[in-house]
Amino acid sequence: MVLTAVLSMIRYIGDIDDWDFVDRLHSYFTTNILIAFSILVSFKQFSGKPVECLVPDIFSGSWEQCSEPYAENYCWAQNTYYIPIREVVAGVPTTEKKQRRISYYQWVPFFLLVEAACFRLPSLVWKYMAGHSGGFKVSSKTAKEANSSSPVFKSV
């Protein structure tokens, strides 16, 4: 039942006849670029090593050496903080860690996909509504015919 509804919506995905370059830029090109960037960022985050965490010496080797390094995964899932290259790691006070917090990197691919959906959704709604109302060509033809109809019908 849901599959039938989704498949019936596929015909609304194509281009719309009454759109200009800017409309296509927003609904098609921007959407595809955002999806491509989301995939590109996802490859690094979900298949490579997204974050290099400094593990304390007190951790045993199993925290870092196992097939899925627990410390690296924990560090990626939790918020991290920025340390400049020339700064001593042990010299960062706890109060500054909260100010230097970086908490956006895990969510970048998902936000890019949400942005892509926000750019594409208006065109899908427009095409769906235009398809159910006869389309732009039919609406403009009807408007022209009403404008050129006989005076008897205009006065009524």
pLDDT in tens, 38-82: 998 888 777 777 677 766 666 666 655 654 567 777 777 776 766
Q: How far apart are the first and last CA of the chain?
A: 46
pLDDT in tens, 13-33: 555 556 678 888 888 899 999
- Its pTM stands at 0.58
Alpha-carbon span 62 to 64, nearest angstrom: 5
**Three-state SS for 53?**
coil
Classify residue 106 by its DSSP letter.
Answer: G
User: Residue 101 pairs with which residues in a beta bridge?
Assistant: 81
Alpha-carbon span 41 to 77, nearest angstrom: 16
Reference 72, options 55, 90, 47, 59; nearest CA is 55
